[in-house]
A and B are shown apart, each in its own frame.
Chain A
Amino acid sequence: QVQLQESGPGLVKPSQTLSLTCTVSGGSISSGGYYWSWIRQHPGKGLEWIGYISYSGNTYYNPSLKSRVTISADTSKNQFSLKLSSVSAADTAVYYCARGGAYSGYASLIDYWGQGTLVSVSS
């Protein structure tokens, strides 16, 4: 059973960089065919895909966030990370890490999610 757990600061100041890490257990992030995603949900709102990193280390970002986003992986720790720069109050959201690729190889089809972590942007 794959499990994902987000970790990182719950409060970030405006203009600073939001940094989150997802620790994966029960499976290797370098296993072929899987994609490791970050998705966020603004309070009381819908879902927004941020980006993902493939099992081979390729990254793909939402065009609307691309200029501020970096996703990276540390295979030795079986973790992948999100950095979002120049944050504002509009970046306040629950951030989920997730695994895709199990269904028909589509990266966007998620079979495992983390529990989510609320990140607030405020001074």
Chain B
Amino acid sequence: EIVMTQSPATLSVSPGERATLSCRASQSVSSNLAWLQQKPGQAPRLLIYGASTRATGIPARFSGSGSGTEFTLTISSLQSEDFAVYYCQQYSHWQTFGQGTKVEI
């Protein structure tokens, strides 16, 4: 099983600031990496797939980068609606998820 490790567990930022979240895979997943956002009481939502492609309707302030085992999600200027938990997901071999990064004020 490919283990996904996210850091940090919690990220404290202010509205308007830049947020950078990291995800590491235990073995190469090429670019088969997605980022999801989950708000309390809601199902997750796909933000990024293919490591860097935004899903339909996702604002341009969300961007992804990386390949192989190291990946980054950047939120360029945090809006109030962006405070949530973010998960990375590999789909290179079946699918596994990271433990999440909580972005809080």
Please indicate the chain B residues that have their CB under 8 angstroms from the CB of A111 in the complex: 46, 55-56
* Binary contact track A31-68/B, C-beta < 8 Å → 1, others 0: 00000000000000111110000000000101110000
Interface of A is mostly: loop
Q: Quick one: given A46-B100, A47-B87, A64-B1, are A106 and B94 in contact (CB under 8 Å)?
A: no
B23 CB, nearest partner CB in chain A, Å: 12
Q: Is B55 touching A103 in the complex (CB atoms < 8 A)?
A: yes
Residues of A within 8 A of B96 (CB): 49
Q: Is B76 an interface residue (CB 8 A)?
A: no
A80 at the interface (CB under 8 A from B): no
Over the window 107-123 of chain A, the binary record of Cβ atoms lying under 8 Å from chain B Cβ atoms (1 yes, 0 no) is 11111011110000000
Instruction: Determine if B43 and A106 form an interchain contact, defined as CB atoms under 8 angstroms apart.
Output: no
CB of B43 within 8 A of CB of A96, answer: yes
- Range class of the A interface residue count: 20 to 34
Q: Tell me the number of A-to-B contacts counted with CB atoms below 8 Å.
A: 52
Is A104 among interface residues, defined by CB-CB distance under 8 A?
yes
CB contact under 8 A between A103 and B46, given known A46-B100, A47-B87: yes
In the assembled complex, how far is the CB of residue B3 from the closest CB belonging to chain A, in whole angstroms? 11
A62 and B43 contact, Cβ closer than 8 Å, known pairs A46-B87, A111-B55: no
Question: Would you call B95 and A104 a contact (CB within 8 A)?
Answer: no
In the complex, A106→B30 CA distance in Å? Answer: 14
Q: Mark A66-79, 1 if CB is under 8 A from B, else 0.
A: 00000000000000
Nearest 4 Cβ contacts at the A-B interface: A113-B43, A108-B91, A108-B95, A47-B97
**A positions within 8 Å CB-CB of B:** 45-49, 60, 62-64, 96, 98, 103-104, 106-111, 113-116
